[in-house]
Amino acid sequence: MARKLFGTDGVRGTANTWPMTADMALKIGAAAGRYFRNDGSNGHRVVIGKDTRLSGYMFENALVAGLTSTGMNVLLFGPVPTPAVGLLTTSMRADVGIMISASHNPHHDNGIKFFGPDGFKLSDAAEAEIEALVETEIEPAKAGNIGRAKRIDDGRFRYAERLKASFPSGVSLQGLKVVIDCANGAAHRVAPEVLWEMGAEVIPVGTSPNGLNINENCGSTSTGTAAEAVVAHGADIGICLDGDADRVMIIDEKGVVADGDQLMALIAGRWADEGRLAGGTLVATVMSNLGLENFLADKGLRLERTAVGDRYVVEAMRKGGFNLGGEQSGHIVMTDHATTGDGLLAGLQVLAAMIETGKPASALVRQFETVPQMLKNVRFEAGKTPLDTSSVQAAIKDGEARLAKTGRVLIRKSGTEPLIRVMAESTDAKLLEQVVDDIVAAVENAA
């Protein structure tokens, strides 16, 4: 069945607009409850976390109503990072975990992400079954079997201990000045606390959420404020998280930003030297820079590419038995420590490298020279299929032919927004720009 609700990362959209309405959240909760409480017993649990969006209250209550109506018992953790939900799902022996968040999107968007009992995001097949249940008349539990809801206050502390346990034993952050930008999101309390407890001097940014300012001029998608703070305070490093703290960008002591590709190169190289990189392989998406692939090849390591989306990265990691993967956008997945992308966990890996090597951030997060890459987004109207038109297909084929010897072309439809993403790479920067502009023009005409 073709999926209408679920995209590449759960259900997502503008709050109070289909599919992100309270009514739909109630139905999704009931469908998930029916899917996981499939034996009629009352011992089934679900954990729910959220970020700091104003609409999170509405969706939390609607999901609780739907879940408890089918007999599920709900444990509410309030604002916690997405990776904390993966952890808490397993530690609380829950059947399912739910994170209410639209990640790096602005406050008016929201989303619902699901984790299975193993702490990993649900498969496409499981999401399709839940979506099918949404379309049916879901039988509620009998009055005596309605589920209960309970607030748990120590979720972020449990998560904090897992983070600290990932750091080299006996090593502290004493003497390091760290800017931490929490994007006014889910990590606004736990991230500064962890860094301070580990000995760092902490300069917090984006730690005053009001329900409407998540990711606004801060966080991993807007690093300017944190970069200014790094330079102004003479900090050693800046760690920029997004709204649900599952992705990260690093700012070196000069105020220069390093993306997920550079961080994966650093961690992969270190782990390979230590004999810790499973299968000598890093898993990344088709969006990662060719420079990363060349860097790994020079070290005798392999890059396995997947479709865009951290869930597909994790699926490939689990299938191949690999322990490191991620995305250029800053999702870094380390399955030795977590079940999904974890921005603060990745930041701690960089801090550990700084301490152990004695090198500044600028010397560590520039592992390779990037191949010039250009990405442009074209918005299209609902119901349109611009990629299917002959003119767009012809433009893409022409671009591929022109870049065949110097780079590559990647065109894809966003899984979360009505956008066509036109990306290309080439060692010939002028040719790269011409090819991207020609394809963009064709898509715009068709859209």
Among 309, 250, 349, which Cα is nearest to 124's? Answer: 309
Cα atoms found within 13 Å of the Cα of residue 378, Cβ hemisphere only = 25
Q: How far apart are CA 324 and CA 332, in angstroms?
A: 8
Tokens of 93: 């022996």
| Residues 194/60, Cβ–Cβ less than 8 Å | no
Tokens of 208: 């005053």
Strands (E), 61-174: 73-79, 96-100, 109-115, 149-151
Give exposure, 132-148, as e/b (b: 16+ Cβ within 10 Å).
ebbeeebebbeeeeebe
H or E element: which one contains 88?
helix 82-91
Q: How far apart are CA 318 and CA 214, in angstroms?
A: 32
Choose the catalytic residue: 103, 222, 288, 426.
103
Sequence-ordered list of residues with C-beta below 8 angstroms from that of 50, at least 6 positions apart, any chain: 56, 59, 60, 78, 79, 80, 99, 100, 101, 186
Residue 51 CB neighbours (<10 A):
30
CB-neighbour burial class of residue 420 (10 A; exposed 0-12, middle 13-18, buried 19+): buried
What is the side-by-side strand order in the sheet with 73-79? 6-7, 10-14, 109-115, 96-100, 45-50, 73-79, 149-151
| Catalytic site includes residue 172 | no
Tokens of 222: 């807007």
Among 231, 253, 219, which Cα is nearest to 343's? Answer: 219
Q: How far apart are CA 175 and CA 10, in angstroms?
A: 41
Give exposure, 359-385, as e/b (b: 16+ Cβ within 10 Å).
eebeebbebbebbbbbebebebeeeee
Q: How far apart are CA 210 and CA 278, in angstroms?
A: 42
Q: Which residues carry out catalysis?
A: 103
